[in-house]
């Protein structure tokens, strides 16, 4: 299978994996043929890339870090809990704990490499973001050897970090233009609103509550609402960093999602905890399995596998050369061939004469 943009997929291309909507329904089944009429419907559901199957990519498959069944259940459960919260402004701790345990169990495997698609839920931004931040937080807690008890409390904080936004008007949350100073000040209150919702809940850990209140704090004291700096709890620093990375990786009303290279560049300008930021950088695959990439020697290939030891240097199945205009068929492991590297991700394989 190979991963291509919804904008470049062609009539008749064979879909390689089921495309699932946020409600659990199958929008397109694997092995079905794509029709141009589907394009706009996918884009409206925030589905910008799909896997297709063809002879060039035969044998290449992407492994989910969370099984589709569990992912769907998590998405359904978090929506249920947020709807309850919206109705009565109370947290169902048992429900959030169940989701947290499912995430931690699914992500217990060693040497995880996180593709961007692992962080996308095909849903509106609130749910996509909360789950995406929780996925990243779970992986980083494991990589940084945070104790299981603390991990559970920090991941709960990640799932709930933006609950205060249920009070913020949607026209501000979804505004495509730059916020006015007044609108930005109102948006910032979501951390204090969220904290007030959980403040008196004795079933929630102070670690969870701090993640909700302080996930916009920065190491130099430049964040909000308290202007705290390096004295922040490690769990809060993890959620803060994962929040920044996931936001940059996501489509927003005012901009398209950034590439991993761009995300890392922008994140380095934020005053985040450096070891945490570097740990996140180390697990984000620059080029998801199935991506079409151009190498510095002019060869074009499909990413077959990513490696935890260096996410910038995948195993690539080379299919053609743009320099010689020839078809090729060989594999190259960039972990071993240090003279070669990926120049860029491409939207599709070039058409040869």
Give DSSP secondary structure letters for 95-116.
HHHHHHHHHHHHT-SSS--B-G
Q: Is residue 353 part of a domain?
A: no
Q: Is residue 16 part of a domain?
A: yes
Q: Is residue 120 part of a domain?
A: yes
Same-domain check for residues 238 and 315:
no
Same-domain check for residues 197 and 296:
no
Same-domain check for residues 119 and 240:
yes
Q: Is residue 60 part of a domain?
A: no
Q: Is residue 225 part of a domain?
A: yes
| More confident of the two residues 91 and 126 | 91
Same-domain check for residues 326 and 242:
no
Q: Report the number of distinct structural domains present in the chain.
A: 3
Last residue within a domain, chosen from 283, 309, 338: 283
Same-domain check for residues 245 and 305:
no
Percentage above 90 pLDDT, the chain:
59
Does the pTM surpass 0.75? The reply is yes
Per-residue model confidence as pLDDT tens digits over 149-176 = 999 999 999 999 999 998 899 899 888 8
Q: Is the confidence at residue 23, as pLDDT, over 70?
A: no
Q: Is the confidence at residue 22, as pLDDT, over 70?
A: no
Distance CA 314, CA 96 (A): 36
Return the pLDDT at 18. Answer: 83
Burial of 217 (0-12, 13-18, 19+ CB in 10 A): buried
Per-residue model confidence as pLDDT tens digits over 142-153 = 999 999 999 999
Percentages of the chain per state (helix, strand, coil), in multiples of 5: 40, 15, 45
Q: What is the DSSP letter of 273?
A: -
Same-domain check for residues 78 and 193:
yes
Q: Is residue 148 part of a domain?
A: yes
How much is the mean pLDDT over the chain? Answer: 89
Per-residue model confidence as pLDDT tens digits over 219-232 = 999 999 999 888 89
How much is the average pLDDT of 90-112? 89
Same-domain check for residues 208 and 310:
no
Same-domain check for residues 240 and 339:
no
Domain at 18, CATH number: 3.90.105.10
Per-residue model confidence as pLDDT tens digits over 31-65 = 999 999 999 888 877 778 889 999 889 889 887 78
Is residue 126 very low, low, confident or very high in pLDDT (cuts 50, 70, 90)?
low
Helix axes 125-143, 148-160, angle to 10 degrees: 160
Same-domain check for residues 135 and 231:
yes
Q: Is residue 88 part of a domain?
A: yes
Return the pLDDT at 21. Answer: 66
Structure tokens at 37: 């009429």
Domain that holds residue 329: 292-346
Q: Is the confidence at residue 122, as pLDDT, over 60?
A: no
Return the pLDDT at 259. Answer: 85
Return the pLDDT at 286. Answer: 87
Per-residue model confidence as pLDDT tens digits over 295-342 = 999 999 999 999 988 999 999 999 999 999 999 999 999 999 999 999
Cα 294 from chain centre: 24
Same-domain check for residues 201 and 305:
no
Return the pLDDT at 347. Answer: 84
Same-domain check for residues 87 and 143:
yes
Return the pLDDT at 118. Answer: 61
Q: Is residue 227 part of a domain?
A: yes
């Amino acid at each position: 299978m190979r991963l291509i943009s919804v904008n470049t997929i062609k009539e008749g291309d064979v879909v390689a994996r089921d495309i699932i909507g946020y409600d659990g329904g199958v929008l397109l089944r694997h092995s079905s043929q794509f029709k141009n009429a589907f394009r706009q419907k996918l884009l409206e559901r925030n589905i910008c890339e799909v896997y297709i199957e063809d002879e060039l990519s035969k044998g290449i498959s992407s492994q989910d870090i969370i099984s589709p069944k569990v992912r769907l259940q998590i998405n359904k459960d978090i929506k249920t809990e947020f709807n309850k919260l919206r109705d009565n402004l109370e947290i169902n701790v048992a429900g959030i704990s169940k989701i947290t345990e499912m995430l931690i169990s699914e992500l217990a495997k060693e040497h995880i490499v996180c593709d961007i698609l692992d962080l996308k839920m095909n849903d509106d931004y609130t749910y996509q973001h909360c789950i995406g931040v929780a996925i990243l937080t779970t992986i980083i807690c494991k990589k940084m050897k945070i104790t299981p008890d603390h991990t559970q409390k920090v991941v709960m904080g990640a799932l709930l970090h933006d609950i205060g936004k249920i009070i913020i008007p949607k026209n501000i949350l979804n505004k495509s233009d730059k916020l006015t100073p007044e609108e930005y000040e109102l948006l910032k209150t979501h951390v204090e609103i969220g904290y007030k919702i959980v403040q008196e809940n004795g079933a929630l850990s102070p670690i969870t509550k701090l993640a909700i209140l302080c996930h916009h704090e920065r190491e130099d004291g430049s964040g909000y609402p308290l202007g705290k700096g390096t004295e922040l709890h490690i769990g809060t620093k993890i959620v803060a960093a994962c929040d920044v990375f996931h936001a940059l990786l996501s489509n927003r009303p005012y901009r398209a999602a950034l590439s991993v290279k761009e995300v890392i560049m922008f994140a380095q300008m934020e005053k985040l905890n450096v070891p945490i930021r570097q740990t996140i950088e180390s697990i984000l695959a620059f080029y998801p399995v199935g991506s079409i990439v151009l190498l510095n020697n002019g060869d074009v290939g499909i990413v077959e596998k990513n490696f935890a030891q260096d996410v910038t240097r995948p195993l690539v199945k080379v299919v053609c050369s743009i320099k010689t205009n020839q078809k090729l068929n060989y594999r190259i492991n960039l972990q071993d061939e240090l003279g070669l590297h990926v120049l860029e991700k491409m939207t599709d394989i070039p058409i040869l004469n």
